A and B are shown apart, each in its own frame.
Chain A
Amino acid sequence: SAVISQKPSRDICQRGTSLTIQCQVDSQVTMMFWYRQQPGQSLTLIATANQGSEATYESGFVIDKFPISRPNLTFSTLTVSNMSPEDSSIYLCSVSGDNSGNTIYFGEGSWLTVV
């Protein structure tokens, strides 16, 4: 199994500011995924963070709003830029646990409240 550490675990942010969430994995992984879970909603994939290349964003998410870094095979960051109350959400880092992709591990999540 993979152990994933996310920081911060929670934060209250002022609108208009930006916050960077860090994700550290205890083993090398090819792909890391960033999800958002808004209150009462399902998890939605924001982007796939690839080491050595730009992240791949899903429809509705753009790099200017959610810049991602992936400097090595065990670490990634997601920045939520120019935050508004609509960005209040849980942000989850995720990795695939094996080559089959059938086991997905999540970090404990970063709970952001924008006021």
Chain B
Amino acid sequence: RKEVEQDPGPFNVPEGATVAFNCTYSNSASQSFFWYRQDCRKEPKLLMSVYSSGNEDGRFTAQLNRASQYISLLIRDSKLSDSATYLCVVRRGSTLGRLYFGRGTQLTVWP
């Protein structure tokens, strides 16, 4: 079983839509969780960390369910510029422990 599993999509949504991505991780020792964004033919960049209580950054909301080993990302009021691949990333163990990346979920927002 892979460390991190994501629905690869693609998700095609109109501007203004709300879209949610899900991610599951296999190792209960995982300590830190992140969503990264990767634009086509570009390097990944941190979108947001995911905290146990859930957290919000503008139109983006991340949730963590440790019991189910499940992470989500909600994007409200989608913009054309949100079109990208969203990577679920999990760190096992200590602060500098290894990162495990999901394959990514591809999102296309159309006008």
Contacts and interface: CB of A to CB of B under 8 A. Distances in A.
Interface residues of B, number: 21
Interface stretch (A11-19, A65-73, A81-89, A97-105): A97-105
Contacts of A111: 41
Interface in A75-98: 92, 96
A45 B97 CA distance: 12
B99 A104 contact: yes
B73 interface: no
A41 interface: yes
B57 interface: no
Interface of B: 4, 32, 34, 41-46, 49, 87, 91, 95-99, 101-104
Interface of A: 31, 40-45, 58, 92, 96, 99-104, 106-109, 111
25 contacts: A31-B96, A41-B103, A42-B4, A42-B87, A42-B103, A42-B104, A43-B44, A43-B87, A44-B101, A92-B43, A92-B44, A100-B95, A101-B32, A101-B97, A102-B32, A102-B34, A102-B49, A102-B95, A103-B46, A104-B46, A104-B99, A106-B44, A108-B42, A109-B42, A111-B41
